[in-house]
Each structure stands twice: as C-alpha cells, then as structure tokens.
Amino acid sequence: MKRYGTAYMTAVILAALVMQSCDRYNFSEEDFAEIGNISLHVNGALMLDYSPERHQIGFSPDRIEFRVSDDGMADYFFISCDEMPSQTGQRLHADLEYTTPDDIKTKKGIEFVVTDMDSGGLIWLWNSRYGIGAVVTMIQ
C-alpha cells in the first residue's frame, strides 16, 4: 500500500511541475501589450530585443517588410505583410522569419492583428494562434 502511495504522490508532483512549466509560456495579448520596445516574442520567449548599439532596423515600403537584425545576421526577424499596418484592430497576413538560439524558423501567411500604434511610429502586431507578438517600426 505504501508503495502505491509513493507512486501516486510522485505522479501528482510531476503533473504539477509540468503544468507550472507550461504556464511560463502562456503569453497573452495582455502580456504583449506591456512590451514597449522593438522586439519579437514567441509563446512568451523573447527571440530578439532591439538595441541600437547591437542591431539594425529596416523597413521597405515597397515590400511592406520590417527587418531587425544584428550586424552579423546571426540574430534577426523579418516580417513581410500583405498590406500596410495603418490602424488599430486591422487584420493582415504576413510571413515571419526569425532566429532561435539553434535554428531559423518561418511562418507563412499567418494572421496578425494591429493591437496598437503610437505617435513615435511603433506598431504592435499580435498573432493569437501561435502566441507571437512583434513590435516593429516604419522608419523613413
């Protein structure tokens, strides 16, 4: 009997640990709204946080493409939209390419919602299906 009790408790503890670790990646639109700088977040994990000392930003109005990268292109994200983000609540489709510590990831044709735009030119793009939040800027 004691043996089964120990196994049961071990299973309960493991289940609790797994559930707790999943919460760490529960990245919501409300969490994303708190982000105030150019960056890319995927399921709560910060993929890139723009720093003017280490990164370059680019914007192509012809391709409606936002680019953020380090000088060596080892750390970057590119978002190519099907239309220009112009107002809060707008839905658009985009292709996303970004680096992780050990890979290059792509998502094609995913839907983003423009959740915010500020007077400084920052644009918040949110994808709820994949928990992707990108803050980009249209530089001229």
Compute the distance between CA of residue 73 and CA of residue 103 in angstroms, rounded to an integer.
13
pTM: 0.79
Domain positions in the chain are 29-137
- The pLDDT, as a whole number, for residue 7 is 53
- 69 DSSP β-pair partners: 56, 76
Instruction: For the chain, give the percent of residues with pLDDT over 90.
Output: 68
pLDDT in tens, 33-61: 777 899 999 988 999 999 999 999 999 99
CB pairs under 8 A, 24+ apart, for 97-106? 98/40, 98/42, 98/47, 98/48, 99/47, 99/48, 99/74, 99/75, 100/47, 105/42
Q: Is the per-residue pLDDT at 110 higher than 50?
A: yes
